[in-house]
């Protein structure tokens, strides 16, 4: 049984880049990914900004060699998962027990939306090909087949904490000696379904979002995918390069307050952060950076801020919401932000919280506004909280030099 | 370390919920869609909440609460669900409204309840349970993934009294789509003759089964949950046989130690060939049982099969209706469940007497 789980590879695609290198560049130049809707056929074009991946399905299909009518959720997933697997470059991978644990919330909804236009009028109509991969699990299966992974695959869907839970589950599959290597994270594509859903909840900002700002008005939806390659101690030893870091702590707790709203005192987020710290054996003062969930909605940031205060007061580490760059990528956000957390350790960087102006009146701290380089970052906490009260925190820790 | 099934509760197209009569009064269906028999939900959920809840959420919450009651447990140590299709009714309602109302004036409720984690979340909310909460959504192994999660949590000593369940609902739209995809029989057949129809397609079902898992021995436990294994796209029949033998071998068992094999035979000629062949090879001397004429076929039907297996062990009797081939009359001490979903996902669960 492997007691330590290492991170050996990274892959990411979002509105600010199609791979890890492009993301680092966008962060350094403070280039946010939001803009007008260009791909979805919706009445909200030019009304609600979103953070779209800048490649259309044709381009993504060409890169991945999947058919162009594949769900965008799978196309995005394959780009990032492949990058992660190539980055890890694990010797003799085919001799190891390898799994793919991927999360998403929309599945093939981007195709189902087309199907339902005809189907809603007459249930004998609608092109079946468009609904065939509707299920969340279909997306994982399509990508696993392309990656050649057969030993284990599964899909997690816990709203916006989905891919943090995928990483968490993957680590435990290694610790329980079920697998040696797991590619874990998540993916979600923008759909009319989610855009309209969040719009009915009146939590979308019609300007670019301002996480943790007193005058924040909501979130911007984004899309993308992010994956880590997790490996056992045994595999870490045969790598051609040093692993990035360890997954040292994790916790999944439930707010049990409301289906979509967070409790005012941030019970779920507090329990998740506290539990992850306990699991890692670290103190709050050991955390060098927090990648906040920070959606930009009044409710989330207030609850999360309260929970951060309960744990870290009075010594706050630097923290920021990278959703100010990528928008809220829902089921992918935990995976994408796990990649950012690992990169923070690797490169000693802290990401700016864009557009922050005014400290929240009920909080004694504020997020970092500048891009910082040359930092000594050893422990990073990544928060992912979702509908249904699903709260998960992960902690990544450096490996001794 | 041993893992036990402390209690269970099952809502299905049969009288499985709150009924001591263990599958003695089989409900006959002659169509290709079996609907779950709904209990009086008022016993479990207040009237105001009930009005907002979809069929799926009501079934899920009621089965979960009943399972806890059966296990004399108020607060579970974790809540884990598996569902392939999630809250379909709410998903389709919201999707249809987007199209029909051209994205305008949409009420939020259907969207809020459409997320796949709604059942696990609603249970947590009702119980005010802040513990570990997870939902797996992987086609024919959604429930198995949840079960593996629960077993690992127990082994890690992270939680006890874990509430784990499988849930899927069939809606008019999903039945229409899956029928067009050729999953179901084109002509009606009685479920009592499902396996002799020898035609393509199966019958659609739905249901929810929850289990309370613990590592604490007790004579009140239903059974021991010995092991679980999932296999993705096995190469051929020999590969399946090899992996079944290997799975049993890991627990120092061979097929002759298994008192009863429950298979996922669905009445679909195109899928049952695997079971037919195994029944003539590896399982040739085994007592055999089937369950899909009771539950119908759906991605989380293994939850129904586990409910069946654990109650067979507890009751020390095999209900007449599930027996395919009984070599010898027995009260099974060890049951192997083998199911495949669409020939792609193959699952094995081993259940033993305590």
The CA distance from B147 to B170, in Å, is 22
- The single-letter DSSP state of residue B345 is E
Contact residues on chain A for B108, CB-CB shorter than 8 A: 197, 200-201
Span B220-240, average pLDDT: 98
The answer to whether the Cα torsion of B36, B42, B45, B51 is positive or negative is positive
Give me the pLDDT at residue B222, please.
Answer: 98
Give me the pLDDT at residue A401, please.
Answer: 52
Phi, psi of B289 (to 5 degrees): -140, 155
Q: Does this model's pTM top 0.90?
A: yes
The answer to whether the CB atoms of A271 and B130 lie below 8 A apart is yes
Q: How confident is the model at residue B198 (pLDDT cuts 50, 70, 90)?
A: confident
The CA distance from A73 to A224, in Å, is 8
Pairing of strands A289-291, A224-231: unpaired
Distances (CA, A) of A278 to A251, A274, B288: 9, 6, 48
Tokens representing B128? 């005010």
Q: How confident is the model at residue B327 (pLDDT cuts 50, 70, 90)?
A: confident
Give me the pLDDT at residue B135, please.
Answer: 98
B128, B135, B141: residue with CB nearest A157: B135
Phi, psi of A257 (to 5 degrees): -120, -45
B335-353: per-residue pLDDT in tens?
999 999 999 999 999 999 9
Give me the pLDDT at residue B272, please.
Answer: 97
A123, A150, A192: residue with CB nearest B98: A192
The alpha-helical segments, DSSP class H, found in B101-236 are 109-112, 118-127, 142-155, 172-180
Give me the pLDDT at residue A168, please.
Answer: 97
Contact residues on chain A for B173, CB-CB shorter than 8 A: 119, 123
Domains in chain A: ranges and CATH = 6-238 (3.40.47.10), 247-397 (3.40.47.10)
CB-CB contact of A347 with A378 (8 Å): no
CB-CB contact of B260 with B289 (8 Å): yes
A105, A128, A196: residue with CB nearest B115: A105
The answer to whether the CB atoms of B94 and A193 lie below 8 A apart is yes
The CA distance from B210 to B278, in Å, is 29
Give me the pLDDT at residue B197, please.
Answer: 86
B160-194: per-residue pLDDT in tens?
999 999 999 999 999 999 999 999 999 989 999 99
Residue B20 has pLDDT above 80, yes or no: no
Contact residues on chain B for A156, CB-CB shorter than 8 A: 134-137
A155 bridge partner residues: A102
Ordered DSSP codes for B241-252: HHHHHHHHHTTT
Among A110, A194, A197, most B C-beta atoms within 10 A, so best to mutate, is A197
B100, B138, B180: residue with CB nearest A155: B138
Find the closest chain B residue to A158 by CA distance. B117
Tokens representing A227? 């994956």
Give me the pLDDT at residue A301, please.
Answer: 98
B244-276: per-residue pLDDT in tens?
999 999 999 999 999 999 999 999 999 999 999
Find the closest chain A residue to B139 by CA distance. A137
Residue B288 has pLDDT above 60, yes or no: yes
Give me the pLDDT at residue A400, please.
Answer: 76
Q: How far is B40 from chain A (nearest CA, A)?
A: 24
CB-CB contact of B88 with A130 (8 Å): no
Angle, helices A136-147 vs A72-88, to 10°: value is: 40
Domains in chain B: ranges and CATH = 4-214 (3.40.47.10), 226-352 (3.40.47.10)
Cβ partners under 8 Å of residue A180, min gap 6? A96, A97, A98, A174, A231, A232, A234, A235
Phi, psi of A59 (to 5 degrees): -65, -45
Contact residues on chain B for A123, CB-CB shorter than 8 A: 172-173, 176-177
Residues 81-140 on A with a CB inside 8 Å of B are 105, 107, 109, 112-113, 116-117, 119-120, 123-124, 128, 131-132, 135-138, 140
The answer to whether the CB atoms of A253 and B132 lie below 8 A apart is yes
Which helix (H) or strand (E) segment holds residue A98: the answer is: strand A98-103
Query: A286 at the B interface (CB within 8 A)?
Result: no
Span B91-108, average pLDDT: 96
Q: How many CB atoms neighbour CB A152 within 10 A?
A: 22
Among B133, B143, B176, B231, most A C-beta atoms within 10 A, so best to mutate, is B133
Find the closest chain A residue to B95 by CA distance. A193
Give me the pLDDT at residue A2, please.
Answer: 62
CA angle, corner A157, sides to A153 and A163, nearest 5? 75
Give me the pLDDT at residue A221, please.
Answer: 98
In chain A, which residues have pLDDT < 50? none
CB-CB contact of B349 with B82 (8 Å): no
Cβ partners under 8 Å of residue B37, min gap 6? B11, B12, B13, B14, B15, B16, B17, B27
The answer to whether the CB atoms of B114 and A132 lie below 8 A apart is no
The CA distance from B332 to B323, in Å, is 12
Bond prior to A314 in cis (omega within 30° of 0): yes
Residues of A with active-site annotation: 160, 293, 328
Among A173, A265, A388, most B C-beta atoms within 10 A, so best to mutate, is A388
The answer to whether the CB atoms of B124 and A388 lie below 8 A apart is yes
Q: Which residue has the higher pLDDT, A221 or B330?
A: A221
Ordered DSSP codes for B38-98: P--GGGTS-HHHHHH--HHHHHHHHHHHHHHHHTT-SS-SEEEEE-SS-SHHHHHHHHHHH
The CA distance from A323 to A320, in Å, is 9
The CA distance from A277 to A271, in Å, is 10
């Amino acid at each position: 049984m492997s007691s330590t789980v290492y991170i050996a590879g990274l892959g990411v695609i979002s509105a600010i880049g199609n791979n890890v290198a492009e993301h680092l560049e966008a962060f350094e130049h403070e280039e946010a990914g939001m803009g007008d809707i260009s791909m979805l056929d919706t009445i909200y074009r030019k009304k609600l900004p979103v953070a779209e991946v800048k490649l259309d399905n044709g381009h993504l299909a060409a890169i991945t060699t999947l058919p162009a009518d594949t769900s965008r959720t799978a196309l995005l997933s394959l780009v990032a998962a492949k990058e992660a697997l190539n980055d890890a470059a694990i010797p003799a991978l085919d001799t190891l027990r390898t799994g793919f644990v991927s999360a998403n919330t929309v599945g093939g909804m981007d195709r189902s939306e087309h199907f339902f236009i005809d189907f809603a009028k007459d249930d004998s109509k609608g092109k079946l090909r468009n609904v065939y991969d509707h299920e969340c699990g279909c997306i994982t299966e399509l990508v696993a087949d392309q990656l050649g992974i057969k030993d284990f695959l599964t899909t997690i869907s816990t709203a916006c904490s989905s891919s943090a839970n995928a990483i968490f589950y993957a680590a435990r599959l290694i610790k329980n000696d079920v697998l040696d290597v797991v590619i874990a994270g998540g993916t979600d594509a923008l759909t009319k379904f989610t855009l309209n859903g969040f719009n009915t909840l009146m939590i979308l900002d019609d300007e670019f979002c301002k996480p943790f700002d007193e005058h924040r008005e909501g979130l911007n939806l984004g899309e993308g995918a992010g994956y880590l390659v997790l490996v056992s101690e045994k595999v870490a030893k045969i790598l051609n390069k040093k692993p990035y870091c360890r997954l040292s702590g994790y916790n999944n707790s439930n707010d049990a307050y409301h289906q979509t709203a967070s409790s005012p005192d941030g019970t779920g987020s507090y329990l998740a952060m506290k539990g992850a710290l306990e699991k890692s054996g670290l103190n709050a003062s050991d955390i060098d950076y927090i990648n906040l969930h920070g959606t930009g909605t009044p409710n989330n940031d207030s609850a999360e801020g309260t929970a951060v205060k309960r744990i870290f007061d009075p010594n706050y580490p630097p923290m920021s919401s990278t959703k100010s760059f990528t928008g809220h990528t829902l089921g992918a956000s935990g995976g994408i932000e796990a990649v950012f957390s690992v990169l923070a350790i690797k490169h000693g960087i802290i990401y700016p919280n864009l557009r922050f102006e005014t400290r929240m009146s009920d909080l004694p701290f504020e997020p970092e506004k500048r891009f910082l380089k040359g930092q000594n970052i050893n422990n990073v906490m990544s928060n992912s909280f979702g509908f249904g009260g699903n709260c998960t925190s992960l902690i990544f820790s450096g490996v001794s030099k | 370390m041993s893992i036990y099934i402390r209690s269970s509760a099952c809502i299905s197209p049969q009288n499985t919920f709150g009924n001591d009569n263990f599958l003695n009064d089989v409900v006959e269906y002659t169509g290709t869609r079996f609907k779950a028999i709904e209990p009086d939900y008022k016993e479990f959920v207040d009237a105001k909440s009930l009005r907002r809840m979809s069929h799926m959420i009501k079934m899920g919450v009621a089965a979960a609460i009943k399972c806890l009651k059966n296990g004399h447990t108020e607060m579970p140590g974790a809540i884990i669900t598996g569902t392939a299709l999630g809250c379909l009714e709410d998903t389709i309602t919201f999707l249809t409204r987007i199209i029909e109302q051209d994205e305008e004036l949409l009420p939020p409720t259907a969207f809020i309840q459409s997320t796949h984690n709604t059942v696990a979340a609603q249970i947590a909310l009702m119980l005010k349970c802040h513990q570990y909460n997870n939902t797996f959504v992987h086609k024919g192994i959604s429930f198995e993934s949840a079960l593996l999660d629960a077993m690992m949590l127990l082994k890690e000593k992270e939680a006890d009294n874990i509430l784990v369940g499988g849930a899927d609902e069939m809606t008019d739209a999903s039945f229409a789509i899956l029928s067009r995809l050729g999953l179901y029989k084109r002509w009606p057949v009685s479920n009592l003759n499902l396996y002799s129809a020898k035609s393509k397609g199966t019958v659609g079902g739905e249901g929810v089964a929850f289990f309370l898992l613990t590592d604490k021995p007790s004579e009140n436990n239903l059974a021991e949950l010995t092991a679980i294994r999932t296999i993705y796209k096995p190469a051929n029949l020999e590969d399946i046989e090899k992996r079944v033998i290997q799975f049993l071998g890991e627990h120092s068992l061979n097929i002759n130690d298994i008192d009863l094999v429950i298979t996922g035979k669905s009445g679909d000629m195109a899928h049952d060939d695997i079971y037919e062949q195994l029944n003539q090879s590896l399982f040739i001397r085994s007592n055999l049982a089937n369950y899909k004429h009771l539950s119908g076929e759906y991605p989380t039907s293994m939850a129904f099969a586990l409910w069946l297996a654990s109650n067979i062990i507890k009751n020390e009797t095999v209900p007449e209706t599930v027996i395919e081939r009984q070599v010898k009359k027995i009260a099974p001490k060890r049951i192997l469940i083998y199911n495949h979903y669409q020939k792609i996902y193959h699952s094995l669960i081993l259940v033993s007497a305590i």
